Amino acid sequence: MGTLYNVLGVLIGGALGLLVGDRLSKEVQESLLKVTGVAVFTLGIAGAVQGLLRVTGSSLSSQNSMMMIASLVIGTIIGEFFKIEQRFDHFGLWLKKVTGSDKDARFVDAFVTTSLTICVGAMAVVGSLQDGLTGDSSTLVAKTVLDLMIVLILTASKGKGALFSAVPIFLIQGSITVLARILAPILTDTALANLSLVGSVLILCVGINLTWGKQIRVANMLPAIVVAILCAFLNI
């Protein structure tokens, strides 16, 4: 049920964004986009710092830096080879066509950017696992509130393509919930910590793209999350 709540929250946020967006000037839309970018960027940094630094008594030390670098490098190479960003764009173009949005030049960018913002991260994975294993949807309900606000702002500033991020939310989180009992032994505490760190770096990259324009092909970095989970079993 948690994923359905999340999908509903995205749809409500998107609908409200469309209503508000039509009443906002281009300048206000641009400002909202930049502010959202800064917020996403800050959330990414906070998550990354939490995963990279360890406090022991009164001392501060670093951790997981090699795992992060290895995951990002190997994951990006895999993503570039399989052209994941291009496949995301093609799916966005298909959605654009079937929804009659051919005249919306920002549709694909809005869809891809919003999907990456709300699908990448530990909350999506942990919440979906909890929902599938115990029926506890509290984490996904909390995520729903956050996603509603993010989608509202991105829809208001980038257009209705953001609303269709509900599709990958349903597919990804729904799949994790259904397969929770199979995935649970794989997603150990260390694996989830690695996922959270690398996911935070990807969210940081999304924030960079929102703030300064598309600088990084973030979708091509998605395999880094899988590599990070594998690193937990290789003790990297």
SS3 annotation, 11-74: HHHHHHHHHHHCCCCHHHHHHHHHHHHHHHHHHHHHHHHHHHEEEECCEEEECCHHHHHHHHHH
**Taking each helix axis from N to C terminus, what angle separates 84-98 and 65-82, rounded to the nearest 10 degrees?**
60
pTM for the complete prediction? 0.88
Q: How confident is the prediction along the chain (236 residues), in pLDDT tens digits per residue?
A: 889 999 999 999 999 999 998 888 889 888 988 999 999 999 999 999 999 988 777 778 889 999 999 999 999 999 999 999 999 999 999 999 999 998 899 999 999 999 999 998 778 988 998 899 888 899 999 999 999 999 999 999 999 999 999 999 999 999 999 998 898 888 899 999 999 999 999 999 999 999 998 889 999 999 999 999 999 988 77
Sequence spans of domains, the chain: 2-234
Q: Which burial class, exposed, middle or buried, applies to 235 when counting CB atoms under 10 A from its CB (0-12, 13-18, 19+)? A: exposed
> Tokens representing 180?
């929770």
pLDDT for 80 equals 97
pLDDT for 141 equals 92
pLDDT for 133 equals 87
pLDDT for 29 equals 87
Alpha carbons 20 and 113: distance in angstroms, whole number: 20
Alpha carbons 109 and 213: distance in angstroms, whole number: 11
pLDDT for 59 equals 79
Alpha carbons 129 and 140: distance in angstroms, whole number: 10
